[in-house]
Structure 1
Amino acid sequence: MASKKPAEATSGAPKIDIGIGEKDRKKIAGDLSHFLADSYTLYLKTHNFHWNVTGPMFNTLHTMFMTQYTEEWTALDEIAERIRALGYMAPGSYAEFVQLSSIKEEQAPGALDWREMVRQLVVGNEAVCRTARKVIKTADGAGDDPSVDLATQRLQVHEKNAWMLRSLLE
């Protein structure tokens, strides 16, 4: 006589049981989706400014922007994978990012002065910091240490980036 398969094996993948309830996982994934959208928008803006910076600060900013966008790019995958680990689909289209991001497009047509680029990146990094703090609060309340850790690490990076960029304008 053949043994029966476990009930969950016959109905597909087992339900997620990581010690965080579905309602909390959904809220955390939602906050992380906003965080991902802000992070992606900042990445794109930083990369754009790397390509298009001009003026006396060209070498310094071209290199600084490349360092920042490279680090930001790597972090995007970590955020998206955390959303997936919680059982939800990560946003991944420009339309979703525009809808979810708190960072709005400021760039006027034509070339921007390097000071305006730096100012916009300060504002963008600070927006990511605020979104990270929301993730930390929600995730901490649900006992989601991995999401707290991820957002805390990102918060530290973006606070430092905002400080370094702001210092160029003082």
Structure 2
Amino acid sequence: MTGSASTGAVEVGSPAPDFTLKNQHGQDVTLSQLRGRNVVVLFYPFAFSGICTGELCEIRDNLSAFNDADAEVLAISCDPMFSLRAWSDQDGYTFSLLSDFWPHGEVARAYGIFQEGPGAAARGTYVIDREGVVRWKIENGLGDARELNGYLQALQSLG
């Protein structure tokens, strides 16, 4: 992670903590370099798990709605990049799967959703506007799936 990031929960109306992580192809993705576009930062606990696969397949199947909102999807877990590549290849994810593997969970900690026990991020979704400000969020526990319509509506409200 680069830049300064506060610890604790991220609040609506506050700047999103910046980060640089590697995607499933080994390329660096930096949140602040996406300014000028809306961004959906989506934390999930584990690649290849049932609920996570369901959530990311739903995003994959509705990616045009994110494109229509000029939104970049960044899905983040603490899994290693190579696992994310295998999962992406298997399920056809064309959006970025980012590895928060090392330092383990550093970005999830900056967003206040890292779970020490399982060593994974909880299910946090943050809709970030073109200026880098968090405009909507939902934070669910490890086993609680999110509703896609919630963040699609939040994106539509950004215009």
Larger-gyration structure (1/2): 1
- Please give the TM-score of this superposition, normalised by the length of structure 1: 0.26
Name whichever structure is richer in helix by fraction: 1
- Please give the TM-score of this superposition, normalised by the length of structure 2: 0.27
